[in-house]
Each structure stands twice: as C-alpha cells, then as structure tokens.
Structure 1
Amino acid sequence: MRLLHTSDWHLGRSLHREDLLPAQRAFVDHLVATVRAERVDAVLVAGDVYDRAVPGLGAVELFDHALHRLAELAVPVVLISGNHDSARRLGIAARLIERAGVHLRTETARCQEPVLLADAHGPVAVYGVPYLEPALVAAELGADRAGHGAVLGAAMDRIRADLAARPPGTRSVVLAHAFVVGGESSDSERDIAVGGVPSVPASVFDGVDYAALGHLHGCQTINERLRYSGSPLAYSFSEAEHRKSMWLVDLGPGGEIDARRIDCPVPRPLHRLRGTLAEVLADPSLRRFEQHWLQVTLTDQVRPERAMEQLRACFPHTLQLAFEPELRPDDGLPSYAARTRGRDDTEVALGFVRHVRGSDPDQAERALLAEATRSVAVAAGGEL
C-alpha cells in the first residue's frame, strides 16, 4: 500500500507579514499532482492543518478546496488535529464527510477506531491520534498522570488492544502529533511544554508498522518506522536550510517500510545575512540573494539610519532586521548591581544606551536623558 505522509500545513500563516496563502495553494496543487502521478492509495495528514484555532476565511476555503480535489480522486484521506487546530471546529461534520473518504480524527474517544483500508495483501488499520493536551484528556484516557508521555501511552495501549483483536496479519499505521525524543525542533513550532516534559519516547509507538508524525517542522527520521514529514513551507528563518518534502511510504505485505522524499515547491528561498550595513550592501557575492526572503543581522557599532530602506533597495525581499554590535563597551564589572552601584539615574540611563547601542550617547541625547530623569524625579516628589 502506498501512503503519502504530510503534516503541519499551517494554512493561513504568514512569514513576517508576508502572505503565504498563494504558496500554500501551490503546495495543495503539488500534493494533488503527486497523489495522481504516484498512484497513492491514501493521504495521511498528521495535524496542524490550520495555523490558529479560528482560521481566516482564505485558509478555510483552501482547506475545503484541497479536500474536494482529493475526494474527486477517490483517494482516502486520514487527518488529525494538531496543537494549533481547534479539534472541535476541525471535526465538525466529521462523520458526514467520511462518506466522501475524508476521515477526520479529532476526538480522543475515537483514537482506537481505525480507518480500515485494504490492498492485495490484506487489511491495513490506520489510527489517528489527535494532539492530546494532558490536563484535558488524562482522566478520559485513564492515564496514571497528566503528562505527554502518559496520555499518548494510554492512547497507544487502546490502539494495540484493538489491533490485537483484528485478524492476524493486519498491518497498522498511526498518525500522531507529538514531540518524540530524538526529533530536532525549529523556531516556528509552538511550545507544548505545559503539562510537564513535552517529549515522549519513541517506544510509545512499539507494535505498529508505521507512525506518521506531525508537529516538528523539519523532515526527519526517528527510526525506520517513525518519521516526521515536516511542514511543506518554511515558517521561520531557523528553517532556512530545511529541505521541505513529504514522505512517500510503501507499506509491504509483512509491514516492511520503503520510504522516499517528495520535494515540495519552494516559493522563495530563505537566507540569513550578517555583517555591517556597508559590508552587506557592497559585497558582490551577496547579489545572488536578491530574490530571497532575507533575515539581516547588522553588526554596526552605531545603528545606521534608514537601514531597512537601504537594504530593500538592494534586497527587496528583506523581511527581518536585527542589530547585534560585534563589540560592546564594557566596564569590566561582573553584574548589573556592580555596574549601577553609586550611579545616579541619569548615569544608569546613559550606561544602558551605551550597552544596547554599542556607542556613547551624543551631547543632545545626554541632555535629553538628563532632563527626562530629572522630570521623573520631580514628579515622584524627590530630587536627583
């Protein structure tokens, strides 16, 4: 059986205010084309369909468009909710749209209820485990504590029990949205540490032939049977070096796994530049990044005026600008308390500007800061 494993679409998300819906629409086109060209038997979407619990209209319309196109191909789709999704909203009319071959698993109670598929070698049970918030589902699952490992372990125990009652030779696939030990994270994933340790051991999935994982945005292999597809697009500059893809998984007659990556379209590459403004603007070797989305970190000692305007004149797709002076004047004292001891408010304010900007305030700035601190002291009823 041939499965296409994808996740973390985050429909409706932007990249530093850059609208990504056109790129997400191109991904959906690519997904449908891949299903058709590779003769996929089922599509697995491992959570975070939307970027937020109440998605915008454009995101909802794109999701509706994707499901209609997949249904037209008569290819089953199994989809779970992730930590960005509202499980209840995503699961509206789930039992109704199952008639079209789209199987939404957003309810904890249905995690042990498989979607039953079959090929020439027999049945395949596909289980969907939605993102499990420990404090909300521990009692329902009978977990011994409210932790990520405990609730996912309890859900997997139910799945293994159901699988054991099925005919011998039934192969199994599980979709889950979780942080598995050994996975590498990026800056664009929402922290799920509430409820204790956020990660779960890979052993929690023992006994199934393939676990299609979602949540981490980098495509990666935990082991042969546990894989993250990653997000189809880069959603932060920490993903600049990611190769965005989906997994095309062939599930053999005895549960053997043969997986290969299908690359996703790249709307515009991401890159990070670092240096002084003059260096970045003058270096001819950087011209190859003119059409990239850029994060630029300037190391000038004094913050340049109109830095973003100058950068965008050469690199029109600069999205993020940061300032990190390479050298900061330091008085050599070890702590904040030591640096401020014996100094009045004006001197502390001047020292703060010096530390952040990397250079001393000029005469006009010194006068302005002195007047500001004096006014605050008078308002407070004291004197400097």
Structure 2
Amino acid sequence: MRLLHTSDWHVGRTFHGRDLLLEQESVLGGLADLVSDESVDVVVVAGDLFDRAVPNAEAVAVCTRVLERIRSAGARVVITPGNHDSAARLGLFGGFAAAGGLFLRTRIASLHEPVLVPDAHGPVAVYGIPFLEPETARHALGVEGKGHAAVLTEAMRRVREDRAARGVRSVVLAHAFVTGGEPCESERTIAVGGVQDVPGAVFDGIDYVALGHLHGQQTLAEHLRYSGSPVAYSFSEARHGKSVWLAELDASGLAGVERRMLPVPRALSTLSGTLDELLVAPEHEAVHEHFLSVVLTDRVRPLDALRRLQTRFPHAVHVEWRPEGGRTGELRFAERVRGRTDEEVACCFLEDVRGEPPAERELELLREAISAAAREEAQ
C-alpha cells in the first residue's frame, strides 16, 4: 500500500492579511497529480484541514474541489481534525462521505475503529485520532492523568488493542507535539496547564505514524514523522522546502518512506536597508514578486513605509524599524510622566517612536489638539 502523508492544510488562512486561497488550491490540487503519478492508495490529512472552526464559504469550496480531485485520481482520503478544526462540523455526514471514499475520523469514542484499506497482502488498518483537548478528552476516555500525553496514551492503548485483535499492519494519524519536534512561528500552542509534549514512545508498535501540528517537515524516527504544512504560513518557514511523505507498506510493515517536494506558489524573502535604498537598488529586483518582510534601518522612522515599499514590491507584507546603531534613546513614554505637561508627554512619545523630535508644525497641531481636549473636558 502506498500512502501520502499530509497535514496542516489550514485552508482559509491568510498571510499577514493577504488571502492565500489561490495559492492553497494550486498546491493542494497538485496532490491529485502525485496520486496518479505515484499510484497512491490513501491520502491522509493529520489535522488542521481548515484554519478555523467555522471556515468561510470560499475556504469550504476550495477544500471541496481539492478533495474531489484527489478522489477522482483514485485515492481514498482519511482526515482527522486538528486543534484549529471543529471536530463536530468536520465530521458532519461522515457516514455518508465514507461511501464515496472520504473517511472523516472525528469522534473520540470511535478512534479505535480503523479505516481498512486492502492491498495484495491483506488489510491495512488506518486509525485516525482526532485532536484530543486534554480536559475534554480525559473525561471521554476515563483518564485520571492530565495533559496531552495522558489522553494520547489511553487512545493508543485502545488502538493497539484493536490492532492486536485484527492482526493487521497499522497506520496512525495524530495531531500532537511530540518530544523532539521543532516548532516555528505559525503554529498555535496546544499547551494546557503547561503540558503539551508527548513522548514518541507513545506510538511504539505502529508501522507508520503520520503526525500533524508542526509546520516543518521532520523525521523523529523512521516510522514517526511530521509532513509539515504544504504552504508557508510565516517567514520562519522560508527555507523549509515544503513537501509530503510517500510511505510504502509491504507484507511485513513499513518498507520505506520518500520525500516528494511541493511547488512554491510565492517565495518568501527578507530585505534590510534604508527605505530610499530599497526603493531603487537594482539587486532587489529578483524578489519583486516574493512575499517580503522588510527591516528598515533609517535613523528616523519613515512615514507610510509599507505603502511606499509596495509601490516597488507589491507583495511586501511586513515592516520593522530597527535604526542602524540602535535607537537614539530608550522608550520612556510609559515612565516618569508625573510632573510633565501633556505637551511634553506627547512630544517625548513622538521622539521615542520616530527617532527625532516633532517639527514646529507638528507642535502647533499638538497644542491645538490638547487645547480642544481641555475645553471639551471643562464643559
């Protein structure tokens, strides 16, 4: 059996306010080509199909078209909800969807009931463990211990018990932070009470474990892997090289795992320099179409910097100001204001955030605003 391991689609997510639906559909729709080219039997999504519990209509439409393409290419699809998804909404009509080859494993009570996928050597049991919010799941599973490790340990006990009774090869989907994994900036924490880590040993005895939650592709053990997100959702992922895992199971279990790279719909880059330099330097033309994070080193904070950058770099989405040599003074506007006039406080604020004192015309406007506020307060 050949299995394509994906996770963390986050359909509907934006990137610094920019809509990503076109990019997401382009990359995810391409999974259908992998299914055809690699003769894939099963595509799994190990959590966070959507970016929010109540996705908008456009996100649902994109996801529907992608899943239809994958099914038309000939693969079964198994999906479990992650911490961003609503298990109840995702599982709606799951029984009917299974008849068409789309298996939604969203219920805690039935996490030990696998999707059975036949191949030349018999059935492979694919178990989908929905994201287990510890406090809710420990009551549903009858667990006394707290934290993600406790509930996942009980979930895996039930999975192993079923697997032993069937005597089959097995695959498990789980959305968790497994010890040894490396997070990045775009993941939402799943810590509850400070406990989020799950030891990898929890999954011992399974032929292949398809993990979700961390957005960078990682190998914790030969059988224990994160596929990562198919699209970058933060600048910390600029060098990830997005991809999926293609796992093959033979008669004895896991036969091998190979990496398949995914296209990059729009590259991510970071620039640094003064605003005037960045707007004219010819060497930056190569990143004209990239999503850009820009660090400005001007001594004085430029006004309307992002809009001005976007006149040359239409996909600049993030700007930071780090004046060369450091700030000209420490930020003090939240301290030592006692005894200062309103005008002095306002002027200090402007100087701290911009790096230079206000101009005379700005001082006049400040005085007018302070006087108007004082008159209004006196009425």
Q: Same fold (TM over 0.5)?
A: yes
For each residue in 1:18-72, what CA deviation from the matched residue of structure 2 results, as whole angstroms up to 9, or x when unmatched? 3222222222331011001100121111111111111122221222223333333
- CA deviation after TM superposition for structure 1 residue 139, in Å: 0.7
> What amino acid is the match of 2:357?
D
In the alignment, what sits opposite 1:329? 328
In the alignment, what sits opposite 1:297? 295
Residues 145 and 289 (structure 1), Cα distance of their counterparts in 2 relative to 1, 3 Å cut = same
Say which is worse superposed, 86-95 or 259-268, in terms of deviation.
259-268
Superposition pairs of residues 32-51 of structure 1, within 5 angstroms: 32-51=32-51
The 3-state SS of whatever aligns with 1:71 is helix
2:347 aligned with 1:350, yes or no? yes
Say which is worse superposed, 241-250 or 291-300, in terms of deviation.
291-300
> What amino acid is the match of 1:254?
S
Separation in 2, partners of 1:311, 1:113: 54
Separation in 2, partners of 1:122, 1:221: 27
Q: Is the 8 A contact 1:329 1:354 kept in 2?
A: no
The 3-state SS of whatever aligns with 1:100 is coil
- CA deviation after TM superposition for structure 1 residue 92, in Å: 0.7
Residues 49 and 104 (structure 1), Cα distance of their counterparts in 2 relative to 1, 3 Å cut = same
Separation in 1, partners of 2:334, 2:305: 30
- CA deviation after TM superposition for structure 1 residue 4, in Å: 0.3
Q: Is the 8 A contact 2:208 2:254 kept in 1?
A: no
In the alignment, what sits opposite 1:202? 200
Say which is worse superposed, 116-125 or 84-93, in terms of deviation.
116-125
Separation in 1, partners of 2:149, 2:355: 46
- CA deviation after TM superposition for structure 1 residue 105, in Å: 0.5
> What amino acid is the match of 1:237?
F
> What amino acid is the match of 1:166?
R
Say which is worse superposed, 140-149 or 287-296, in terms of deviation.
140-149
- What's the Cα RMSD here? 2.4
Superposition pairs of residues 100-249 of structure 1, within 5 angstroms: 100-167=100-167, 170-249=168-247
Runs of 5+ in structure 1 lacking a partner? none
Separation in 2, partners of 1:144, 1:331: 50
Q: 1:256 aligns with which of 254, 257, 261?
A: 254
Percent of paired sites with the same residue: 52
The 3-state SS of whatever aligns with 2:99 is helix
Residues 246 and 373 (structure 1), Cα distance of their counterparts in 2 relative to 1, 3 Å cut = same
The 3-state SS of whatever aligns with 1:49 is coil
In the alignment, what sits opposite 1:363? 360
Residues 364 and 11 (structure 1), Cα distance of their counterparts in 2 relative to 1, 3 Å cut = same
How many residues are treated as equivalent by the alignment?
Answer: 377
> What amino acid is the match of 2:280?
A
Separation in 2, partners of 1:354, 1:251: 65
Separation in 1, partners of 2:357, 2:222: 57
Q: Is the 8 A contact 1:138 1:146 kept in 2?
A: yes
In the alignment, what sits opposite 1:79? 79
Separation in 1, partners of 2:287, 2:258: 30
Separation in 1, partners of 2:186, 2:256: 29
Residues 376 and 201 (structure 1), Cα distance of their counterparts in 2 relative to 1, 3 Å cut = farther
Structure 1 residue ranges (4+ consecutive) displaced by more than 6 angstroms after TM superposition: 377-381
Residues 355 and 201 (structure 1), Cα distance of their counterparts in 2 relative to 1, 3 Å cut = farther
Runs of 5+ in structure 2 lacking a partner? none
Separation in 2, partners of 1:375, 1:185: 51
The 3-state SS of whatever aligns with 2:127 is strand
For each residue in 1:165-222, what CA deviation from the matched residue of structure 2 results, as whole angstroms up to 9, or x when unmatched? 222xx22111011111222222222222244322222222122121101111111112
